[in-house]
Structure 1
Amino acid sequence: MGEPEVSAAGEVRPRAARWVRAWPWALDGIRIADPGRVRLRVALRTLAASVAALLVAGAIREAADVPSGVVVIATVVAVMVSRTLHATSLAHRLSALLYVPAIGIVAAFTGRVLLSNAWLGAAAFVAAVGGSRYLMRFGGKVRRFGRLALTPLISVLVVPVPPSAAKATGPLWGGVAGLIAVACVIVAQYVPPVRPAKEAAAAARDLAALVRRLRALPPGSRSRARLARALHRTALVAEDRLAAVRLPDPGTSADSHEAGTDAARLDALAAAVLATEVAADHLLTADRPEDGTGAVTPATEAALDRTPDLALDLALADLGDRAARAAGIRAGEWPKADPPAPRRRTGGLLDLQPQTRLAAQLTASMAAGFLVGHLLFGQRWMWTVITAFVVCSAARGRGDVVHRSGLRVAGAFSGALTGTLLAHLVAGDQAVSIAVIFGYLLIGLWLRDLNYAIWAFCVTSLLAVLHTLSGEHGTALLVQRPEGILLGSACGIAAAYFVLPVRTELVMRGRAARALQALQELMSAAREPLPRPTALRQLARRVDFATRDLADASAAARAHRTFVHRGTTARRAPENVRPHAADWADTLAACARHARALAATDPAALAAARPQLGLTALNVGNVRRRLGHRPEAAPPRPARTGPPPLLRLNSSLTELYDRLPVPPSPSDTAPPSAPGTVPAPVPGASG
């Protein structure tokens, strides 16, 4: 129990009581990081696949007397393929049994060339990676093949195979390692039952717990604002898992009745999640007042909800009941749909598709990483090349490369230092080293989507332990590894800015266009004579998911606004401060919040407000024209009457219109009329 402590009231309590009081906050932290424990289950399946690959490859190694590098390759490929094959169809997973071993043989052969002729091997490796990345510009099976082809190639960089092992193993063992990895992944993803309905119910219960915690926090506090954002993410997780539920095909009338009942339960849970989120959002109205004048009038506040606490209590009770009923539904999971192929462009070399540009950037970044790594670090060049690959492989634009590089450097620097020190502590004990590696892997897989710096920290740490286990020692690694990471990030940033760059704001405008299109469809559905609540809710969630994609793409812009833009605008006069790209992205998120409230409005009230809904649809169209830099865009007109969510939505649309960049006029592209005249910069450009 430990030393007792004295409370403020003079009571003597054991120290363990502090842990009891802190336990609810720890649970809230887990709910925020992983609603419904969906990511934890995926991480555990990936860890199980990697451990199985390790054991199977180890047994084959003992029987065939091959070097231990094959075991590590199989483990690494299992980790990488598991993410690629997650939530895909059975046909796609079985096809990986052919693709990955074939590419594994090519990767093993490329690794042998890297060891015998560094420059020829580097050229072959860069060409293979660039070609695989280029295939991702297509849709369907070609895109899937491009993603799968990258995994064995990158394993060659991750796994330090000595020259003697490469000569003794031969390229064929690269295919064997890939086959073992894919087979273990398929078994790990199919043997444990996937129950998306149960995960959705767990996320809904987490939503209810976070709402109760939100009510206990003081209004206007930062903790309340952070918890409100986490609450929205939790609701989207529940909605995402509900959309993934695949009910069995009814074979008889009894099965058909049961399937209909289960579908009704899932629909009721989705409606309860939306109602709870909207009711909880009323608590935050005082924290962020907004209407046509920037403040909530007493009449609007009274019309919004006369009894917000009672409405929230009823919503929470209904949510708990719906979650309990949906948790017992046994159903499968729909596979993820393949992204469609992008439209063909007619501009030739001057108008290349973004995926083609990103493939060229990745190729240039890795080529520069190989050059810098071999010239400065000799045999330890892989840290530079791995970093150059990581910062450019999943980039959305040049601002995203800079942002990802910053997170990579922050996480990898700390991971290289702590991992190298920990590797020295566990050196000589192979079992403990392997346990540490898998511990880092589990944490990284679980929390990688929360913040990329966590993934960079865990991967760099486990690589430090892995390389020490393979024979790399010395305190010089504490300096060489961070240096290689920093130079690799520099190679990626240079490629993103000077090789067919993709502007961050251009990517954001594409994501925003999809969100506004979904909002326009919501307005059309709300204007029907008898609006259907289910259709309204689904369209509102489409707006939410599109806005979430915009938030991911605008992470670099928000970081630029925090660390650069605010510092420069603080020295300017208020009339000279221009809106930032992250500002209009935040305003579009506010539009999505009001769209949710509109979808939860009574259909009779929507039917009575058809003229105001038509005006809102026109306002959305004008905002879309403004976003597309079309000259016929006109400022939105305010709505005078209608449901409160509709009034707030029109207010936010007006604010969004004002914050969007002004379309360039012909005079902006003409030569300066006088010496020294400089065209005005595009506001909010952070990339």
Structure 2
Amino acid sequence: MSLPVSPGAQWRREMLRRGRTRVQVERRDLKDRIGAADPGGVRLHMAFRVVVAIAAALALERLWSAVTGIGAAPVMLLGAVVAMLTASGIRENTRQRTFNAAWPVLPAAVLGGGAATLTSGVKWLTLVLFVVVSFVAVWIRRFGPAWLTYGMVGWQSYFFILFLGPPIHQFPIIIGALALSAVSTTLLLCTVLYQDPAKRLRRTIAAYRARARAVISAALDVLAEPDDRAPVKVLRTQLVQLSEIVLLLDGQLSEDRVLPPDVSPWALRRWVVDVEIGMDELVSAVLNYTEIAHQQPFTLTRRVREVLQAVGWADSDRAAALALQLADDPDAPAPARQLGRGADFLIDTVARWTSGELLQPATGEAKAALSEFESVLALRAGRLPGTAPLAEKAVKDADAPAWSPARLRLTTRQAVQASVAAALAIWIGHLISPQRYYWAVIAAFIAFTGTATASDTVRRSLGRVVGTTLGLLAAVGLSGLTAGHTPWTYVVLLISLGLAWYLFPISYGAMIFFLTVALGQLYGLLHEFTDQVLELRLAETVAGALIGAVVGLLVLPASAMRTLRVARVELLGHLADLLDSCRDLVLRGGGIPPVADRRAVTAQVVQLDADARQLVQAVQSLVTGRFFSSDRSGMRHRVAVLGSAAAAARAVASLVNRGYPRGTETDIDRPAYAAAMRELATESHRLASVPELENATAPEQQDIAARVGELLDPAVRGPARTAPLRHQLKRLADSLSLLTPRGRP
């Protein structure tokens, strides 16, 4: 017989239960935010690699200085620079490939350092060679990502030998210092700093699921405040970040040893894309529901929230039951039923991963096709590439005369820019300080590292000025705390370098801030930390950054506007190709398409994701100005519309891959759906061909949305199960119609 519980005790128990639940929610949200912010731990591992490599190099170089009798500071500085560049630039997925990519670092360092040492007695020759080294260091980037590292190592070795000015008889000792750093870093990268690609993939998938939960959380915020546009903006940002992880996963799937033997990367790619499509459907349904939320009963909105919460918390049984109830409710409005269908599809898709189905060894035809898998994007140092491929297409004109600059590749253009900027920085830097001019040179040269367009160069130059200014202020404050405490100086130095590389993919200015703090500690070790040195450092940096920006704008510039147009053409062209492929499958009929066709369509979907990301990146690279001759508001509108079109096309492809249209009257429906897809593909090609989107006046016939609507109206008599495909095609038509202004001649 249980004793009665007082109301006060019941209240305390309920409060404790709610408190524990709240703590669980907050802990999971924090874990999700951390995991989703750095998919696969790429940035964290990069920072760890850099810090460990530099620490090992500093220890070895200090020992080398004790053995050789040379001053510790110069060789430690050289060793740290080589270790930093090697650890951050060389990233392969096997130990053998890591070694093959890392061993040329030493010859590059020796060539750069040797050239500076051997010409140090002839000032004019040293400066001329500095310009030549700047050209070569950029030009060789065309051979691949590792060559960017070789060029930077050679350039920085030349630069720091000029900075340190060792006598020529110490050259063998300098070579030994460079060798110690290069060899030790290579060994570390092949052993303790090697990251297992399979573990990285699992962490990236965990981050993918965490980002999906973040999207659902943002969708719940939109439901809570349907009239507030801020949560909608956050929701769209979360979707963009989700698609970036899709591309990151696709890039990892082509790496060796990332999956167990005989596990199909094709199946995992399909799963990743299906999760994204399910999230697209949920978000679209939520946004549609918010437009009518005020007209709906509170109980229905609560049911919608319960479905989202159950999906977000991975309560699959409850989520599936609630989703099916909502999808089959004849009294619920269309957006609510759409959300139920999307949630049901997403639950089934996630279950394929949690059940272990995707990690089962492939058999038969699927096993034979394992070696045919190729990623849409090749990762660079574990990260997604920038806009350089687009800029390459934008600047090169194969039909131009042989002598025309329009035939130059992007790397050649940037090499010319870097050498011109270096020459100007040497001249102007000497006017500011004949002893410290090299800081102007490095600021000008770095402006052309990791950039593709003139706008990229200007943004990077501005970020360098701001980061350097704030970093110098922080360095002054820290110098008083670490002065005379060498161990603490090294601690601050290493922490600053780690933070610099962790934040680099997020903010170049933040990276420069922490690098400047680290340089402040370095000046302290060299006993050169004075107010005059800091003032000269800032003046030279501002001059070099300004030179880099001006040269980027005036000397063989890669236009950001042309790059944007190429991004738009690529997206719309691949959208049309995807629709053509779907049309062929619809006309062929016969239920679910063959495996090879489904794989081809899924690859096209990933390519569309890559195009959408490139478009967003190209827009973000703009400093000021206009998008397709439009203002900023028009730019944001067009990007959102193109993103919506890509999402609708993904959904169409997913439905076709699952055998839609299907039912008892598919023979009647198929010609209508195929004709609609043909119209949409034709319109995509038309929009891709116009020079300016805002001037893409409609053709003589009626609007694309009306044309597709007429074609699909007869399909209404088809079975209800064809409704999702009809809905997505109309959604795509509506998006494309928004890209054609009304009422223009």
Counterparts of 1:191-230 in structure 2 under 5 Å? Answer: 191-195=194-198, 196-217=200-221, 218-219=225-226, 220-230=228-238
The CA deviation at 1:264 is: 4.0
- The verdict on how the C-alpha distance between 1:409 and 1:647 changes in structure 2, with shifts beyond 3 A counting, is farther
Native 8 Å contact 2:281 2:339 kept in 1: no
- The verdict on how the C-alpha distance between 1:55 and 1:91 changes in structure 2, with shifts beyond 3 A counting, is same
Native 8 Å contact 1:625 1:633 kept in 2: no
Counterparts of 1:380-529 in structure 2 under 5 Å? Answer: 380-527=436-583, 528=585, 529=588
In the alignment, which residue of structure 1 is the partner of 2:92? 87
The CA deviation at 1:175 is: 4.7
Native 8 Å contact 2:64 2:177 kept in 1: no
Deviations 1:558-590 (A, max 9, x none): x425xxx79xx9xxxxxx979866654454333
Indicate whether 1:325 and 2:384 are aligned: no
User: Could you say what secondary structure the match of 1:87 adopts?
Assistant: coil
In the alignment, which residue of structure 2 is the partner of 1:311? 342
The separation in 2 between residues aligned to 1:89 and 1:28, in whole angstroms, is: 29
Counterparts of 1:67-106 in structure 2 under 5 Å? Answer: 67-68=71-72, 69-87=74-92, 93-106=98-111
Query: Which deviates more from structure 2 when the two are superposed, residues 159-168 or residues 125-134?
Result: 159-168
Native 8 Å contact 1:445 1:455 kept in 2: yes
In the alignment, which residue of structure 2 is the partner of 1:33? 37
The separation in 1 between residues aligned to 2:348 and 2:696, in whole angstroms, is: 49
Native 8 Å contact 2:645 2:732 kept in 1: yes
The separation in 1 between residues aligned to 2:275 and 2:26, in whole angstroms, is: 30
Query: Quick one: which of 704, 707, 718 aligns to 1:637?
Result: 704
The CA deviation at 1:183 is: 1.5
In the alignment, which residue of structure 2 is the partner of 1:553? 618
Native 8 Å contact 2:433 2:536 kept in 1: yes
In the alignment, which residue of structure 1 is the partner of 2:150? 148
The separation in 2 between residues aligned to 1:644 and 1:356, in whole angstroms, is: 48
The CA deviation at 1:206 is: 1.0
In the alignment, which residue of structure 2 is the partner of 1:54? 58
Native 8 Å contact 2:440 2:540 kept in 1: yes
Native 8 Å contact 1:437 1:465 kept in 2: yes
Native 8 Å contact 1:96 1:182 kept in 2: no
User: Could you say what secondary structure the match of 2:529 adopts?
Assistant: coil
Native 8 Å contact 2:277 2:647 kept in 1: no
Indicate whether 1:540 and 2:625 are aligned: no
- The verdict on how the C-alpha distance between 1:59 and 1:193 changes in structure 2, with shifts beyond 3 A counting, is farther
The separation in 2 between residues aligned to 1:288 and 1:466, in whole angstroms, is: 58
User: Could you say what secondary structure the match of 1:623 adopts?
Assistant: helix
The CA deviation at 1:490 is: 0.8
The separation in 1 between residues aligned to 2:575 and 2:267, in whole angstroms, is: 26
- The verdict on how the C-alpha distance between 1:515 and 1:423 changes in structure 2, with shifts beyond 3 A counting, is farther
- The verdict on how the C-alpha distance between 1:614 and 1:54 changes in structure 2, with shifts beyond 3 A counting, is same
The separation in 2 between residues aligned to 1:526 and 1:435, in whole angstroms, is: 58
- Amino acid across the alignment from 2:58: L
The separation in 2 between residues aligned to 1:151 and 1:425, in whole angstroms, is: 32
- The verdict on how the C-alpha distance between 1:334 and 1:645 changes in structure 2, with shifts beyond 3 A counting, is closer
- The verdict on how the C-alpha distance between 1:615 and 1:472 changes in structure 2, with shifts beyond 3 A counting, is same
With structure 2 as the length reference, what TM-score do the two structures score?
0.72
In the alignment, which residue of structure 2 is the partner of 1:275? 278
The CA deviation at 1:21 is: 8.7
Indicate whether 1:348 and 2:352 are aligned: no
In the alignment, which residue of structure 2 is the partner of 1:244? 252
The separation in 1 between residues aligned to 2:638 and 2:347, in whole angstroms, is: 33
- The verdict on how the C-alpha distance between 1:249 and 1:437 changes in structure 2, with shifts beyond 3 A counting, is closer
The CA deviation at 1:615 is: 0.5
User: Could you say what secondary structure the match of 2:129 adopts?
Assistant: helix
Identity within the alignment, %: 19
In the alignment, which residue of structure 2 is the partner of 1:369? 425
- Amino acid across the alignment from 1:135: I
The CA deviation at 1:491 is: 0.2
The separation in 1 between residues aligned to 2:265 and 2:686, in whole angstroms, is: 42
The CA deviation at 1:100 is: 2.0
- The verdict on how the C-alpha distance between 1:334 and 1:533 changes in structure 2, with shifts beyond 3 A counting, is closer
Size of the aligned set, in residue pairs, is: 618
Indicate whether 1:180 and 2:183 are aligned: yes
The separation in 2 between residues aligned to 1:30 and 1:249, in whole angstroms, is: 26
In the alignment, which residue of structure 2 is the partner of 1:7? none
The CA deviation at 1:649 is: 2.2
The separation in 1 between residues aligned to 2:360 and 2:160, in whole angstroms, is: 42
Query: Which deviates more from structure 2 when the two are superposed, residues 325-334 or residues 306-315?
Result: 325-334
- The verdict on how the C-alpha distance between 1:62 and 1:505 changes in structure 2, with shifts beyond 3 A counting, is same
Native 8 Å contact 2:567 2:614 kept in 1: yes
Native 8 Å contact 1:205 1:320 kept in 2: no
The CA deviation at 1:22 is: 6.8
Deviations 1:327-386 (A, max 9, x none): 989999999489999775642333232332222111111221222222203322233222
Native 8 Å contact 2:454 2:559 kept in 1: yes
Query: Quick one: which of 621, 641, 646 aligns to 2:729?
Result: 646
- The verdict on how the C-alpha distance between 1:309 and 1:428 changes in structure 2, with shifts beyond 3 A counting, is farther
In the alignment, which residue of structure 2 is the partner of 1:591? 645
The separation in 2 between residues aligned to 1:188 and 1:284, in whole angstroms, is: 49
The CA deviation at 1:190 is: 6.5
Gaps in structure 1 of 5+ consecutive residues = 1-10, 290-298, 570-575, 663-687
In the alignment, which residue of structure 1 is the partner of 2:316? none
Deviations 1:414-449 (A, max 9, x none): 122212321332122222122112212222222211
The separation in 2 between residues aligned to 1:424 and 1:71, in whole angstroms, is: 23
User: Could you say what secondary structure the match of 2:527 adopts?
Assistant: coil
In the alignment, which residue of structure 2 is the partner of 1:134? 139
- Amino acid across the alignment from 1:245: L
With structure 1 as the length reference, what TM-score do the two structures score?
0.77
Native 8 Å contact 2:247 2:609 kept in 1: no
The separation in 2 between residues aligned to 1:396 and 1:552, in whole angstroms, is: 11
The CA deviation at 1:127 is: 0.7
In the alignment, which residue of structure 2 is the partner of 1:5? none
In the alignment, which residue of structure 1 is the partner of 2:673? 609
- Amino acid across the alignment from 1:655: L
The CA deviation at 1:269 is: 4.7
- Amino acid across the alignment from 2:233: A
Q: Based on CA coordinates, which of the two structures has the bigger radius of gyration?
A: 2
- Amino acid across the alignment from 1:311: G
The CA deviation at 1:614 is: 0.5
- CA root-mean-square deviation: 4.3
In the alignment, which residue of structure 1 is the partner of 2:326? none
Native 8 Å contact 1:53 1:78 kept in 2: yes
- Amino acid across the alignment from 2:156: I
In the alignment, which residue of structure 2 is the partner of 1:600? 654
- The verdict on how the C-alpha distance between 1:172 and 1:65 changes in structure 2, with shifts beyond 3 A counting, is same
User: Could you say what secondary structure the match of 2:196 adopts?
Assistant: coil
The CA deviation at 1:225 is: 1.8
Gaps in structure 2 of 5+ consecutive residues = 1-14, 293-329, 362-369, 381-387, 663-669, 713-725
The CA deviation at 1:265 is: 5.4
Native 8 Å contact 2:49 2:88 kept in 1: no
Native 8 Å contact 1:547 1:592 kept in 2: yes
- Amino acid across the alignment from 1:163: G
Deviations 1:541-574 (A, max 9, x none): 21111221222222233x425xxx79xx9xxxxx
- The verdict on how the C-alpha distance between 1:326 and 1:213 changes in structure 2, with shifts beyond 3 A counting, is farther
The separation in 2 between residues aligned to 1:352 and 1:276, in whole angstroms, is: 43
The separation in 2 between residues aligned to 1:21 and 1:637, in whole angstroms, is: 46
Native 8 Å contact 2:137 2:151 kept in 1: yes
- The verdict on how the C-alpha distance between 1:518 and 1:65 changes in structure 2, with shifts beyond 3 A counting, is farther
Deviations 1:43-81 (A, max 9, x none): 323333333333344444443444432233222222222
The separation in 2 between residues aligned to 1:406 and 1:463, in whole angstroms, is: 19
